[in-house]
Amino acid sequence: MGLIIYLDGKFVNEEEAKVSVFDHGLLYGDGVFEGIRAYHGRVFKLKEHIQRLYESARHIALDPGLTQEQMMEVVLETCRRNNLKDAYIRLVVTRGRGDLGLDPRKCPKPFIFCIAADIQLYPEELYERGLELVTVGTRRNAPDALDPRIKSLNYLNNILAKIEATRAGAPEGLMLNKEGYVAEATGDNIFIVKNGYLYTPPAHIGLLEGITRNTVLDLARKLGIPAAEKVFTRHDVYTADECFLTGTAAEVIPVSQLDSRPIGDGRPGPITRRLISAFRELTQVDGPEIFPRKE
Ligand code: PMP
């Protein structure tokens, strides 16, 4: 049985969920999106995802035409219609149909769709062993050209980096910004641990301000782990005690090596492990319920 998709104000079967070839999301990557997870009947950090979606939309001067509350309801109802308690959710707002020119004024109405599907988990073994990173040559988009804080449909920068990493035989690639500072992985944020301190680069150097990243910073503070946003180089990663990536799909995943240099002893460290379990606990209780119990 196919999925039920939210498409432009209606719920339709997967086969009927079609997008126009004149949609500027398709023609130009002109649109914004979110990747969201539901765990245990709750949509994790839904408010934060919707807020980031609206901030991305605001930056590109796109009015989704729904309130943030209505957009949250779209996500919850899409899960309900598919009877999903655990899901990976893709929410997309495009500029809509226009002509073949660039001008967004020719696109009168945004186009919204939402897909909720069964999740494909990363193998548990990766969380035990950690993943290998390589630095890629493709630099993360400069914020003064296309700010990576916009979660836009234009993901070619990341895709080029992903191609480089996988062709080099690594599952993930580390991207630097144009000054050579560590920015993020192709679809995840990066953290390092040194002498008991947790560090992640600040968003203004050019990276997506991940919801998982911000959650991990909050959890660290709650657990009494000192944490700060700091600009750092690959040297700091090579010489770190621990390193991990964060993202909605990957959650918190240890990094065992960068550019063939083992990090620490090459195995997931104690702070990484504490944060993985604190994060997993939080996913079970955070966010609005998909099927609220009637009083
Ligand atoms: N960076 C990039 C480039 C991403 O695509 C993602 C995934 N959305 C992340 C970081 C992690 O963000 P989040 O924790 O919000 O999923």
Q: What is the pLDDT of residues 158-200, one digit of tens each?
A: 999 999 999 999 999 999 999 999 999 999 999 999 999 999 9
Residue with tokens 């969920």: 17
What's the mean per-residue pLDDT of the chain? 97
133 pLDDT above the threshold of 70: yes
pLDDT digits (tens, 9 = 90+) for 206-229: 999 999 999 999 999 999 999 999
What residue's CA is closest to ligand 1, atom 7? Answer: 187
151 catalytic, yes or no? yes
Mean pLDDT of 96-103: 97
140 pLDDT above the threshold of 80: yes
3-state secondary structure of 104: helix
Q: Is the CB of 213 under 6 A from ligand 1?
A: yes
Determine what percent of the chain is predicted with pLDDT higher than 90.
96
Q: Is the CB of 138 under 6 A from ligand 1?
A: no
Q: Is the CB of 253 under 6 A from ligand 1?
A: no
- Domain-by-domain residue ranges, the chain? 4-117, 125-283
- Helices assigned H by DSSP within the chain: 24-28, 46-59, 68-81, 124-129, 156-167, 211-223, 234-238, 270-283
What's the rounded Cα separation, in Å, for the pair 60 and 182?
Answer: 26
What's the rounded Cα separation, in Å, for the pair 37 and 143?
Answer: 27
Determine which one of 18, 151, 162, 178 is catalytic. Answer: 151
Q: Is the CB of 35 under 6 A from ligand 1?
A: yes
What residue's CA is closest to ligand 1, atom 12? Answer: 210
pLDDT at site 47: 98
What residue's CA is closest to ligand 1, atom 2? Answer: 187
125-283 topology per CATH: D-amino Acid Aminotransferase; Chain A, domain 2 (3.20.10)
49 pLDDT above the threshold of 90: yes
What's the rounded Cα separation, in Å, for the pair 260 and 133?
Answer: 8
18 pLDDT above the threshold of 80: yes
Per the DSSP assignment, residues forming a β-bridge with 32 are: 93, 152
What's the rounded Cα separation, in Å, for the pair 134 and 185?
Answer: 9
4-117 topology per CATH: D-amino Acid Aminotransferase; Chain A, domain 1 (3.30.470)
